[in-house]
Structures are given as C-alpha cells and as structure tokens.
Amino acid sequence: MEPGDARKTMSQLRRGVLEYCVLALLRDRKRYGVELLRELGEVEAMVTSEGTIYPLLSRLRRDALVETTWQESSSGPPRRYYELTPSGARALDEFAAAWPGFNDAVLHFLTKNGEPT
C-alpha cells in the first residue's frame, strides 16, 4: 500500500466491516437497496456504490443472513426488501461482541503508552 492514498485505506477498512453495518441497518426493519445506500452514505466512511452493495446483498442472501421480499412501490417498480434472518442476527451479535476486543488490539499497535504516535 502506497503512503498518502487515504481513499484506498478507507476502502480496505470499509470492506472489512460493511456487511456488518448492513446487517445492523436491517436489525430494526427491512429496507431496500437504495435505502441502504442512502443510510450508509450518511456516514462519510461508509459511502459505497450500487456496484458494491448489490453483490454484498446477494451474498448475504445466499448465506441465509438476510431474506428478501418484493413489495409494490408508490413511486416506481416493485422493490426488493431485505430483512435480517435469525442467522443474520446471530452473526451481527457475534461481530458486536468481537469488535471491542479487535478495536482494542488495533489501538494497541497504533498507540504508545495510551497516546497516539
């Protein structure tokens, strides 16, 4: 990785956590793809594209972490809605439990005596 390429660094970081952010967005209610893109886009570090989100949603569906239903839309064609499955909820819970320890481990290497280097 070349120094000074902050976009590439953010892309790599996002790639590792994006699926769990999507699962978290689906925790409370079902959503359709463009809605997920909008929600992710509200947080600068999570801005992504249709070319990333739809293959990810297909993989989550294939892995039975989400299920889909089609619903009519008042403003266009029917929309595919994604909903968290019990397996998806368990995967999200496992990630949420592991994240603090992982975050602490990364911070261990990025800091010296508790202070950023």
DSSP string of 19-79, one letter each residue: HHHHHHHTSSS-EEHHHHHHHHHTSGGG---HHHHHHHHHHHHHTTSEEEEEEEETTEEEE
- Domain annotation covers residue 47: yes
| CATH of residue 63 | 1.10.10.10
The structural domain count of the chain equals 1
- Domain annotation covers residue 1: no
Averaged pLDDT, 82-96 = 98
Domain containing 72 equals 6-116
CA quadruple 45, 46, 49, 55: dihedral positive or negative?
positive
- Domain annotation covers residue 36: yes
- Domain annotation covers residue 32: yes
- Domain annotation covers residue 75: yes
pLDDT 10s digits, 98-117: 999 999 999 989 887 667 66
pTM over 0.85: yes
- E strand or H helix at 13: helix 6-25
